[in-house]
Amino acid sequence: MKIHKTYPAAVTAFILTFGVIVSSYANEEQTKGEKIYQQYCSSCHGPKLQGGNAQSLVDGVWQFGSGRDYVTQTVKFGVQHLGMPGYEDTLTASQVKQVVDFLMDAENTASPPKPQIPKQIQTRDYDITIETIAEGLEVPWSIAFIDNDTFLVTERPGRLRKIVNGQLLSEPIKRTPKVLNEGQGGLLDVAVDPKYKDNGWIYLAYSHVLEESSTNRPGAMTRIVRGHIKDNTWTDQQVIYEAPHKTYRATRHHYGCRIVFDRKNHLFFGIGDRGAMDQAQDLSRPNGKIHRIFTDGRIPEDNPFMNHKNSLPTIFAYGIRNPQGMAIHPVTDQLWENEHGPLGGDEINLIEAGKNYGWPVITYGRNYDSSIISKLTEKEGMEQPILYYTPSIAICGQDFVRGDLFAKWKHYQLNGALKYEEVRLTDVKENRVLHDEVILKNAGRVRDVACAPDGAIYAVLNQPGSIIRLTPKK
């Protein structure tokens, strides 16, 4: 039973006044916390806490422990092996409390679900119809087309799924390789051999971990395999690239990785710097590099560092931070790449044999705590990006428009963005950007973009876990 008390008028006035003061103080503290968040955290977790390079902070999932104490520890000490810095030396104890207060309040008052993806949008050249092809996927990462009616999609926790005639098959492909589903690792890219009709090869990139150790965190690195799919089962697996085990790292971020093929039977793939940025300049290390092999794993004799002492022969280019998109131009056969910068400095690059793309000696970005990585943005012997984005859009996925469905955009470049939730259309001529346009915005975090054999544009939405198709309105 509740007992209701009656207070004298003076006491009541004091209680009300005190309540207003407390409320005003709380609002002021929350405003301070939001400012701190926007300065130090939003570049990874999104300006509205919706997620960017890192996970959402308002979806009810706390990767490193829920509750004030766990969140405070994460802010103070970071998660170094996953690339999140600690702010104990950057923020005062009071500032840490303010930003944690803001996060806790944001979780409790999270905004309502996003509106549904529109069925039609307008661009400069086309009215576009949007169809949802698949839903309910868990962190989808990549898409690859077998033909117009059949394509594959990876889910980062380790599942390879098939979509046939617009329907997501309920059962994943069986017996795919075991992946390290931790941090940014997992099952990453999937690619279909250009001669698939003759040989049936499918290629997978994933985070491969060494055997568990009782004393140390086991090392991991990006690995490439190929195999066949028979009776919904992964079979005939061949490892076509595995880095020397001594180069594996205990970190759990910046794996890359995309797989593309040129007309000469070369297979290109990229590995991120794995959190060891200086190693991107070290030719004895696989991380921070673009690699080139043949589709069966053999190393081309004309690779630029094939006969260099202490250099890995698979390396094609270096000075790369974290490649998130790669594509071969359908006419020139040139290799293009996009990569995440840190706080600013996402890049689109034209990749050429033996070239040094500068990371971390030159960069247009800063550390996530706003400290300077390098004062240099250019240096002799190091390549400039064709285009860079500051602030970072968390660029992700890349392809070229093919076919006649979007005839006005033929051979334009497509790039997605996680943080900015975009699909961008980029007109590149003679290695210069003539036009850069956002054709889709706020449908979800775009992890991959691809042009289907029939010319339709597909976007893989990391969140909310769906695949959509864009076609011109009839």
Residue 8, pLDDT > 70, answer: no
Asked if the model's pLDDT at residue 223 lies above 80, the reply is yes
Q: For residues 443 and 431, give the distance between their C-alpha atoms in angstroms, rounded to a whole number.
A: 30
pLDDT bin (cut points 50, 70, 90) of residue 214 is low
Residue that is written with structure tokens 């980029």 in the block: 426
Q: pLDDT per residue over 331-379, tens digit each?
A: 999 999 999 999 899 999 999 999 999 999 999 999 887 789 999 999 9
Which one-letter amino acid corresponds to residue 396? C
Which pLDDT band holds residue 57 (cuts at 50, 70, 90)?
Answer: confident
Q: Are residues 246 and 198 in the same domain?
A: yes
**CA atoms within a 13 Å half-sphere pointing along the CA-CB vector of 145:** 19
Strand pairing of 466-472 and 127-134? antiparallel
**Radius of gyration of the chain from Cα atoms?**
24
Residues 6+ apart with CB under 8 A from 463: 50, 51, 56, 59, 444, 445
Q: What is the CATH number of the domain that holds 98?
A: 1.10.760.10
* SS3 state of residue 178: coil
Query: Among 73, 108, 143, where does a domain finish?
Result: 108
Residues 237 and 199 in one domain: yes
**Which letter does DSSP use for residue 329 in this model?**
-
Q: Are 261 and 226 in contact (CB under 8 A)?
A: no
CB 280, CB 289: distance < 8 Å: yes
What SS3 state is found at 389?
Answer: strand
Contact 58, 50 (CB under 8 A): yes
Residue 13 confidence (pLDDT) above 60: no
How does residue 12 score in pLDDT terms, banded at 50, 70 and 90?
low
pLDDT at 64 over 50: yes
The distance between the two most distant Cα atoms of the chain, rounded to a whole number of Å, is 93
Stretch 316-333: mean pLDDT: 98
Q: Are residues 269 and 359 in the same domain?
A: yes
- Split at pLDDT 50, 70, 90, the class of 78 is confident
| pTM for the full predicted model | 0.85
Is 113 among the domain residues?
Answer: no
In a domain? residue 98: yes
Domain finish residue from 108, 142, 157: 108
Report the phi/psi class of residue 333: left, alpha or beta, with left for phi > 0 and alpha for psi in -120 to 50.
Answer: left
Q: How confident is the model at residue 30 (pLDDT cuts 50, 70, 90)?
A: low
Between 222 and 110, residue with greater pLDDT: 222
Q: Using CA atoms, how far apart are residues 118 and 355, in angstroms rounded to an integer?
A: 43
Of 10-14, 31-35, 232-236, 271-275, the range with the lowest mean pLDDT is 10-14
Helix, strand, or coil (residue 330) = coil
Dihedral sign (CA 357, 358, 359, 365): negative
160: CATH: 2.120.10.30
pLDDT at 280 over 60: yes
183, 330: one domain: yes
Per cent of the chain over pLDDT 70 is: 90
Query: 2 pLDDT exceeds 50?
Result: no
Which residues, including other chains, have CB under 8 Å from residue 106's CB and lie 6 or more apart? 49, 57, 58
Q: How far is CA 443 from CA 131, 322, 348, 440, in A?
A: 12, 24, 23, 7
Q: What are 187's two structure tokens?
A: 């099952």
pLDDT tens column, 374-411:
999 999 999 999 999 998 999 999 999 999 999 999 99
Helix (H) or strand (E) holding 9: helix 9-40
Q: Are residues 43 and 184 in the same domain?
A: no
Summarised one tens digit per residue, pLDDT across range 184-194 is 999 999 999 99
Which pLDDT score is estimated for 18? 47
Mean pLDDT, to the nearest integer, of 241-269?
A: 97
Q: At 51, is the secondary structure helix, strand, or coil?
A: coil
Residue 114 lies in a domain: no
Which residues span the domain enclosing 77? 9-108
- 428-461 pLDDT, tens digit per residue, is 988 889 999 999 999 999 999 999 999 999 999 9
| Within a domain: 2 | no
- Residue positions annotated with a catalytic role: 254
Residue 315 lies in a domain: yes
- Residue 244 to residue 242: CA distance in whole angstroms: 7
Lowest mean pLDDT segment, chosen from 111-115, 127-131, 163-167: 111-115
pLDDT at 20 over 90: no
pLDDT mean across residues, the chain: 91
- What letter represents residue 465's amino acid? G
User: Mean pLDDT throughout 319-325?
Assistant: 98
Overall domain count for the chain: 2
CA 223/CA 318 separation, integer angstroms: 18
Least trusted range by pLDDT, from 107-111, 233-237, 438-442: 107-111
Which of the listed residues 62, 84, 108 is the one where a domain comes to its end? 108
Q: Would you state the torsion angle of the CA atoms of residues 280, 78, 55, 459, taken in this order, to the nearest 10 degrees?
A: -10
Which one is predicted more confidently, 276 or 78?
A: 276
Provide mean pLDDT across the span 46-75: 78
Is pLDDT above 80 for 60?
no
